Amino acid sequence: MDPMGPQPEPDRLITHRRIKVFCPGISLGDYRITSKTTAAYNCVAWALGITTHWWEPTPSGQYYWPSERDGDYSLESYVQMFENQGFSACESDALEDGFERIALYAAENGEFAHVALQSLSGEWSSKLGELEDIEHASLSSLEGDVYGSVREFMRRALSEPRLLFSITECSNCGALLLRLLEEDEAAG
């Protein structure tokens, strides 16, 4: 019998080392992996319920960015984009019935770095760059050199459609979005 108790699987340790690059303060038991590694979407898309597009304001147009104006990497630009998606600023990370909540991280220079989504249970969910999605209890466990610190909380009513952009901008999402908009109008 091993005197140190059960040891994590080697693959889990390799994954944990990769995750610690983004989140140096996170411990092996602080999170649960909820997806496979993918570069199809990022934390911004994940917070909006999208797993088909990477959302980032690149000048080349390499990624999707829905803002009316050209975006930049400032926290303000991301706040404006989330406002356009139905979110508004709020005071804290407190769980609130009828609302979904996000926490925006920024570096010391004010540049946006990450967004986490609060689940209905109060846990937080994050897409870590091109790595996996994780669930984590603490927002502070992601803070550090890569993601900076939480600077802004935003919320939106759960009754609103999860995604507010033109059907023509997402051919994979068109039918679902149309159905959500029709349901919203019928409930109206």
Domain boundaries along the sequence of the chain? 29-159
Instruction: Identify the band that residue 166 occupies on the pLDDT scale cut at 50, 70 and 90.
Output: very low
pLDDT at 3 over 60: no
Q: 122-137: buried (b, 16+ CB within 10 Å) or exposed (e) per residue?
A: ebbbbbbbebbbbbbe
Q: What average pLDDT does the structure give for the chain?
A: 83
The token duo for 146 is 């890569």
Residues 6+ positions from 82 with CB-CB distance below 8 Å: 47, 102, 104, 115, 154
The token duo for 184 is 């919203």
Alpha helices in the chain, H assignment, sequence order: 10-22, 43-47, 75-84, 174-187
- Tell me which residue of 52, 33, 20 sits closest to 125, measured CA to CA: 33
pLDDT recorded at residue 44: 97
pLDDT single digits (tens) 24-72:
889 888 899 999 999 999 999 999 999 999 999 987 778 888 865 667 8
